[in-house]
């Protein structure tokens, strides 16, 4: 008898074994990673998420809302960059967590510029 013959089939069907609960912390990490994918690795971001409904046993039907704070390079089209982040977050949360997003709020926390130099008094004005 081989070890393959000794493997027992589960006695409980997969749909009846339970459900995977995806925590808000995991969704927030997925959102932050998606924002990094959209903006590039050097951009800073912070995400929070609220899981409204976890996916059902089939892996579908989950619902979450996400809030992101991002840093953007400037000058740029701020609205287009925020839309790009929103779309990427929606897509990746759907792909990786099986959840739809009710809303993805992107707040620009800081603008970063290559032209920004801290002057002598530290005000950091663009010259």
The pLDDT value recorded for residue 71 is 92
Residues of the chain with pLDDT under 70: 1-10, 14-20, 59, 116-127
C-alpha to C-alpha distance for 29 and 27, rounded to whole angstroms: 5
On the CB side of 50, CA atoms within 13 Å amount to: 7
- DSSP string across 9-64: PPSS-GGGS--PPPPHHHHHHHHHHHHHHHH-TTS-EEEEEEEEE---TTS--EEE
C-alpha to C-alpha distance for 119 and 69, rounded to whole angstroms: 27
The pLDDT value recorded for residue 113 is 84
pTM score: 0.73
């Amino acid at each position: 008898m081989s070890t393959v013959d000794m493997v027992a089939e589960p006695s409980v069907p997969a749909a009846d074994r339970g459900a995977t609960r995806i925590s808000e912390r995991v969704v927030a990490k997925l959102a932050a990673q998606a924002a990094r994918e959209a903006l590039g690795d050097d951009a800073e971001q912070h995400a929070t998420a609220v899981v409204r409904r976890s996916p059902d046993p089939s892996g579908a039907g989950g619902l979450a809302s996400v809030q992101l704070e991002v840093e953007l390079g400037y000058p740029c089209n701020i609205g287009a960059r925020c839309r790009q982040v929103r779309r990427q977050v929606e897509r990746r949360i759907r792909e990786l967590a099986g959840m739809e997003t009710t809303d993805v709020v992107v707040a620009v926390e800081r603008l970063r510029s290559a032209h920004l130099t801290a002057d002598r008094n530290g005000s950091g004005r663009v010259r």
